[in-house]
Structure 1
Amino acid sequence: MSQTIINTPKAPAAIGPYVQARKVGPFLYTSGQIPLDPATGEMVQGIEAQTEQALNNLLAILEAAGLDRHHVIKTTVFVKDLADFGTVNAIYERFFGDHKPARSCVEVARLPKDALVEVEAVAYGD
């Protein structure tokens, strides 16, 4: 089965020993995307802006692999404070529209660079 590393300057570079995503056959596995602005390398502020940026970073990786949000079959959302669930959920719903991937949402003690949210995905596309 073929494997391809996906890398795009339209999403933040990996900040550790990993890649933005790996395509294995028809599946794409993304690394978690935190809300760094790829143009500046800076973290956007506030849960709304951070959620939008993390999802836009995810979209940039999907597009680099020749896919879009409708190819996503599963996401995992990590939040620093589950009290932000409603806000994150509303932005997530707007991002995916009528497409509804399977999802897990987990509160964590801390995320890289003290982000408030991180999103990873598995997508499928021939």
Structure 2
Amino acid sequence: MAIEFVATEKAPVAVGPYSQGIKSGNMIFTSGQLHINPETGELLKGDIQAQTRQSLENVKAILKEAGASLEDVVKVTVFVTDIEKFSLVNEIYGEYFANHKPARSLVEVSRLPLGGEIEIEAIAMK
């Protein structure tokens, strides 16, 4: 089965030696997406809800480049540095996954790259 590297200018460039996404057969894997504005390359500052929205927009852009959408997502993993913001993250997450509810894990971690507060990755099937 061939592996295809997924890359788009509508999501931030990778901050390390990895791809924005991988497509293999009917599966698409996105790398974790911080709340980086792809136009500036900088972490979006502000509240966790704006950061969540940016992370999800980055995931969405990678999926689109691979020919998929959020409706094709089967699993999401969310990493946060403050679990107390769980409900705030859920509000925005629920806007993106209102009718389609993939499996999800949300875990607190001590740190994220570049000092980020949230990172989101997804697995989709198309």
* TM-score, length basis structure 2: 0.97
Runs of 4+ displaced beyond 6 Å: none
Counterpart residue number, 1:104: 105
How many angstroms does 1:108 deviate by? 0.2
Map 1:1-126; keep pairs closer than 5 Å.
1-45=1-45, 46-125=47-126
Corresponding residue SS for 1:23: strand
* TM-score, length basis structure 1: 0.97
Unpaired stretches in structure 2, ≥5 consecutive residues = none
Work out the CA distance in 2 between the residues paired with 1:20 and 1:100. 23
Unpaired stretches in structure 1, ≥5 consecutive residues = none
Overall identity of the aligned pairs, in %:
49
One-letter identity of the residue aligned with 1:120: E
Cα RMSD of the aligned pairs, angstroms, is 0.6
How many angstroms does 1:78 deviate by? 0.1
One-letter identity of the residue aligned with 2:20: Q
How many angstroms does 1:53 deviate by? 0.1
One-letter identity of the residue aligned with 1:121: A
How many angstroms does 1:48 deviate by? 1.1
One-letter identity of the residue aligned with 2:102: P
Aligned residue pair count: 125
